[in-house]
Amino acid sequence: MSEIVLETEGLTKYYGDSLAVDHLDLEIPRGCICGFVGRNGAGKTTAIKLMLGLLEPTAGSSRLLGCDSSALTPAIRQRIGYVTEGHRLFRWMSIAGLEKFQRAFFPKQWDDKFFTDMIEYFDLPKKKKIKHLSNGQRAQVSLALALAPNPELLIMDDPTLGLDAAIRRQFLEGMIGLIMREGRTVLFSSHILGDVERVSERIVVIDKGILRAYCSLEQFQEAVKKVIFTFADSVPNEVNIDGLLHCKRIEKQLELTLVGTDDEQIAEWAKSAGAENHTIVKMSLEDQFIEFTAPANQKRLFKWEER
């Protein structure tokens, strides 16, 4: 079994009376790129801050690289890269100044060539001040600063927020560049499901602080499906099938969104309900995510683990 580099156990956070993260249990193995998704206010930033020891949990715990998040030593912190939402950087500094500043925290592991290559790849002048860069360029500098110390574990909170499609792709390629270095692990939150789909092997879905799914991307994509049943006469009033997320009636057709229901169960249900035929429709990851986290489906229903 591969080494677990990020682990949370019953991780819980209340802000006053308001529950932001609810008993989150996660185990992320070394070498994995993991997409962290959830609607606005789902608890992603809070969970990330808890993992990094920047917030104190109300209950539960988390461990990064085997060290409790509440007691991360400087030596462990040096092995972790963190890219924050909004890319907060000293605005008055130049890229070169920030490089020097950041390098001082990582005297042994800073990779000058990698940083310079990335800055050149993004076509950024090192002399330019952060305040004179666009949002996208600031994101690129953030990524280069986070990657240059060659972190074993990279945690990023919505790193591509506000970036255009081409820059997002560059950014993601930079991330893949990191993972190509052996044994590196990435957890990144994003609202852009296309990005998650492009680079992630695993996916974490949270909703109202609750873990709704943690599995391989492939498992998630196979599990959530839309099926259209056609009936000769009327559409049945009651639909009783395992994994039902959503049901829509359109004249003589019934459109069901299902999770974890296998094709055999679907065929059996079609037969028992008297459907003339049924078609399984391919869904995009974005559609799957929207259906899976729709307000009507907010029970703690489904969770898959890699076997």
- Report residue 66 as tokens: 């085997």
Query: 43 or 81: whose CB is closer to ligand ATP?
Result: 43
To the nearest whole angstrom, how small is the minimum distance from the Cβ of residue 108 to ligand ATP?
A: 33
Selected binder of ligand ATP within 8, 28, 34, 38 (CB under 6 A): 38
Rounded Cα distance between 304 and 307, Å, is 9
Q: Taking contact as CB under 6 A, which single stretch among the options 42-50, 59-67, 178-186, 283-291 is the one that binds ligand ATP?
A: 42-50
Residue 298 lies near ligand ATP (rule: CB under 6 A): no
Amino acid making up residue 241: I
Selected binder of ligand ATP within 46, 69, 200, 261 (CB under 6 A): 46
Residue 40 lies near ligand ATP (rule: CB under 6 A): yes
Size of the site for ligand ATP (CB under 6 A): 11
| Angle at the Cα of 137 from the Cα atoms of 180 and 105, rounded to 5 degrees | 65
Residue 45 lies near ligand ATP (rule: CB under 6 A): yes
Residue 18 lies near ligand ATP (rule: CB under 6 A): yes
To the nearest whole angstrom, how small is the minimum distance from the Cβ of residue 158 to ligand ATP?
A: 6
Nearest to 23 by CA among 208, 180, 174: 208
Q: Among all chains, which residue has been given the structure tokens 């690289």?
A: 65
Residue 53 lies near ligand ATP (rule: CB under 6 A): no
Parallel, antiparallel, or unpaired: how do β-strands 185-189 and 18-29 relate? Answer: unpaired
Rounded Cα distance between 98 and 255, Å, is 54
Residue 159 lies near ligand ATP (rule: CB under 6 A): no
- Report residue 264 as tokens: 């055999």
Sequence-ordered strand ranges (E) for 53-193: 59-64, 67-68, 80-83, 153-156, 185-189
Residue 33 lies near ligand ATP (rule: CB under 6 A): no
| Angle at the Cα of 58 from the Cα atoms of 304 and 34, rounded to 5 degrees | 35
Query: 202 or 226: whose CB is closer to ligand ATP?
Result: 202
DSSP 55: S
Determine the 3-state secondary structure of 102 from DSSP: helix
Selected binder of ligand ATP within 7, 34, 44, 87 (CB under 6 A): 44
Binding residues for ligand ATP, rule: CB under 6 A, are: 15, 18, 20, 38, 40-46
